[in-house]
């Protein structure tokens, strides 16, 4: 594979999407071809699965069902979009990838992490991001940023659930220091942009 795969992670409202969009623009400005995708979703089939996952009506969804649906959405996105783009030498930026499942369904919902890793090893065709930005921010500050937004099923969870996820992400970042860059989310949008840009340029130099 010739392209570089960059993912953004963190709890809801931490600022991932804001930063992912800026990074795409900056990379395009220096001549890279960039594909952007969000999870769950990103293909026709994956967006249909997203509807099922996020529908506020589906309150009875079982956590194992949820994990398998997330993995199904991910395998379709990986095969249909991410792998071909990387083969063509493009940069792929993904707003969430399998680390979200380890954090939310594993640390958050308490499902077996070994099983979730195995499920995702298959669903991703063993593809691992080259670089993952974890935007770390307190649950309280994330909530402030989400104020007024209509919550989907997965965003209706309580603060205890989100705190477990935040801690889970921080543990994951310590397990893979080479891949994860932890960015403090309470800095200004512009400051975070600069940190992310510096780190990305460093990686691009090593990679291409």
Stretch that binds ligand ADP, among 10-18, 83-91, 113-121, 157-165 (CB under 6 A): 10-18
Write each residue from 125 to 164 as x if it is in contact with ligand TYD (CB under 6 A), else as -, in one continuous string: ---------------------------x-xx---------
Choosing from 7, 9, 16, 81, the residue that interacts with ligand ADP (CB under 6 A) is 16
Question: Whose CB is nearest to ligand TYD?
Answer: 104
Residue 31: burial class (beta carbons within 10 Å; 0-12, 13-18, 19+) = exposed
Smallest separation (angstroms) from ligand TYD to the CB of 8? 9
For 168, the 3-state DSSP assignment is: helix
Choosing from 5, 104, 107, 169, the residue that interacts with ligand TYD (CB under 6 A) is 104
Can you tell me which residue has the tokens 């195995």? 118
**Region at 136 (left for phi over 0; alpha for psi -120 to 50; beta for the rest):** beta
Report CA Rg, the chain.
16
For 25, residues 6+ apart whose C-beta sits below 8 A from its C-beta are none
Among residues 83 and 165, whose Cβ is nearest to ligand ADP? 165
Q: Does 139 bind ligand ADP (CB under 6 A)?
A: no
Residue 118: burial class (beta carbons within 10 Å; 0-12, 13-18, 19+) = exposed
- Chain residues that interact with ligand ADP, rule: CB under 6 A: 10, 12-18, 145, 188-189, 192
- Chain residues that interact with ligand TYD, rule: CB under 6 A: 12, 17, 38-40, 70, 95-96, 100-101, 104-105, 152, 154-155
């Amino acid at each position: 594979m010739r392209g570089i795969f960059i993912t953004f992670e963190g709890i809801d409202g931490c600022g991932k999407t804001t930063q992912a969009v800026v990074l795409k623009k900056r990379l395009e400005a220096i001549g890279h071809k960039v594909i952007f995708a969000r999870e769950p979703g990103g293909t026709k089939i994956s967006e249909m699965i997203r509807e099922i996952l996020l529908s506020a009506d589906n309150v009875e969804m079982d956590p194992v069902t949820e994990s398998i649906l997330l993995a199904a959405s991910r395998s379709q996105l990986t095969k249909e979009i991410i792998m071909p783009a990387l083969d063509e030498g493009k940069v792929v930026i993904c707003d969430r990838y399998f680390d979200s499942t380890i954090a939310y369904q594993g640390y958050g919902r308490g499902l077996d992490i070994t099983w979730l890793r195995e499920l995702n090893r298959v669903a991703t065709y063993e593809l691992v991001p080259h670089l993952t930005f974890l935007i770390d921010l307190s649950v309280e500050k994330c909530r402030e940023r989400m104020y007024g937004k209509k919550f989907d099923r997965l965003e209706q969870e309580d603060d205890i659930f989100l705190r477990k996820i935040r801690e889970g992400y921080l543990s994951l970042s310590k397990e893979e220091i080479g891949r994860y860059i932890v960015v403090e989310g309470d800095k200004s949008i512009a400051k975070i942009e600069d940190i992310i840009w510096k780190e990305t340029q460093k990686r691009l130099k090593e990679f291409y």
